[in-house]
Amino acid sequence: MTDPRITQLATNLINDAVRLQAGENILIETTDTPDELSTELVKAVEKAGGNAFVHNYNSRVRRQVLLSASEAQMKLSADLALAEMKRMQAYIAIRGADNAMENCDVSDEKMLMYRKITKETLDYRVNKTKWCVLRWPNPSMAQGAKMSTEAFEDFYFKACLADYPKMGRAAQNLIDLMNKTDKVRLVANDTDITFSIKGIPAVPCCGNMNIPDGEVYTAPVNGSINGVIHYNTPTLYEGKHFSGVRLVFKEGKIVEATCDSGDNAQLNAIFDTDEGARRVGEFAIGFNPFVNAPMCDILFDEKIAGSIHFTPGMCYEDAYNGNQSAIHWDLVLIMRPEYGGGEIWFDDKLIRKDGLFVLDELKCLNPDQLGE
């Protein structure tokens, strides 16, 4: 018997996250997920009157393809993927990743080639389709979250099935404030960074792009970033682990990149992917009340209540600052007291301190309000 939470999640993804309409085509890609999930998604697509196209992948097989693929093979694969994506109006990817470190022994050179060759398909999917990306709970993720498998599954569905309409209504005041803001300052342990967001739209993510959701994002004006940011959330990038990533910016560009643990050469190789990789394409404030601790999974960690993420790489078209890159790396700084605290200032006015919004009109985004 199918877990009813899977059925509800599939229904929410099709009807709410990508808002599939009758006659629309949707590409569903799953990796290391149970058959019941794909089946329920296809059923939900059928009920919506859409057409489901499904690819089920295995992460070990995909690693082997990466290891053995030639440049010509990657280009052909990317051409085929782009041709398929251009026939789609919606896209959902659900990634289980039984081993989050599966690609750690794929060379930097091979991963760089892969990122550059697949960028056009990624850009089309992000900017031209209705899309949603999420993880799937498994023992590997439970271990990363320091939970039992059963407890993690309960946490997963609670976070993913949050009251997103309520969250969206609560986020509107933050959106309005960000749209009026010029100067942003972030202050935390070994962090003091300023930048402008003037003229760049604030975009809500409340159940419609990544699940679990819960953020508002914009982008810094290109060239406006100055200072240092020391992220306190461990992160994985293409199977490589880093913690304590510290970036120094001058006039919008990363001029120094180090990490407390991980390979500094590998870290800088990521930021040397292309010119845009040393500039920032997104600034976002996270507020999902059910996501409270890092688990080395970006799709969860970037939504942590009381966090921000400041993202080297590609910007989004709906919060466009002109930055183009083959990377988009959501690096997270948690500002709650147990993680060292921190402050967000908009035009010299304090709007959030130690992870809690302090302005009356924004307090509805605090966990005691959203988590009810």
Count of domains forming the chain: 2
On whether the CB atoms of residues 174 and 18 are closer than 8 A, the answer is: no
Instruction: Report percent pLDDT > 90 for the chain.
Output: 82
Average confidence (pLDDT) over 246-264 = 97
pLDDT in tens, 31-68: 999 999 999 999 999 999 999 999 999 999 989 999 99
Pairing of strands 240-242, 235-237: antiparallel
Q: What is the pLDDT of residue 143?
A: 85
On whether the CB atoms of residues 275 and 293 are closer than 8 A, the answer is: no
pLDDT in tens, 132-154: 999 898 888 888 788 899 999 99
> Where residue 231 falls among pLDDT bands split at 50, 70, 90?
very high
**89 and 187 inside one domain:** no
Helix, strand, coil abundance in the chain, percent, nearest 5: 40, 30, 35
Lowest mean pLDDT among 69-78, 93-102, 329-338, 355-364: 93-102
**307 and 272 inside one domain:** yes
Q: What is the pTM of this model?
A: 0.82
Average confidence (pLDDT) over 127-133 = 92
Which CATH number covers residue 82? Answer: 3.40.1830.10
**108 and 205 inside one domain:** no
Q: Which of 160, 180, 211 marks a domain boundary?
A: 160
Q: What is the pLDDT of residue 225?
A: 98
> Can you say how many angstroms the Cα of residue 25 is from the centroid of all Cα atoms in its chain?
24
**316 and 184 inside one domain:** yes
CA distances from 231 to 53, 164, 193, 257, 364 (A): 39, 27, 12, 11, 26
Instruction: Give residue 113's domain range.
Output: 4-160
Pick the residue with more confidence: 194 or 144? 194
Q: What is the pLDDT of residue 286?
A: 97
**215 and 342 inside one domain:** yes
On whether the CB atoms of residues 300 and 333 are closer than 8 A, the answer is: no
**70 and 196 inside one domain:** no
Average confidence (pLDDT) over 177-193 = 98
> Where residue 250 falls among pLDDT bands split at 50, 70, 90?
very high
Lowest mean pLDDT among 115-129, 320-334, 352-366: 115-129
> Where residue 372 falls among pLDDT bands split at 50, 70, 90?
low
pLDDT in tens, 259-268: 999 899 999 9
**23 and 142 inside one domain:** yes
Q: ∠ CA 169-172-176 to the nearest 5 degrees?
A: 170
Q: Can you list the alpha helix ranges (DSSP code H) found in 89-209?
A: 108-128, 139-144, 149-160, 164-180
On whether the CB atoms of residues 287 and 212 are closer than 8 A, the answer is: no
Instruction: Report percent pLDDT > 70 for the chain.
Output: 100
**18 and 150 inside one domain:** yes
Residue 130: beta bridge partners? 90
**349 and 214 inside one domain:** yes
Q: What is the pLDDT of residue 333?
A: 98
Q: Which of 130, 160, 190 marks a domain boundary?
A: 160
**98 and 128 inside one domain:** yes
pLDDT in tens, 89-116: 999 999 887 787 888 888 888 888 998 8
Q: Which of 129, 145, 160 marks a domain boundary?
A: 160
**154 and 65 inside one domain:** yes
pLDDT in tens, 285-316: 999 999 999 988 888 999 999 999 999 999 99
Average confidence (pLDDT) over 245-266 = 96
**308 and 171 inside one domain:** yes
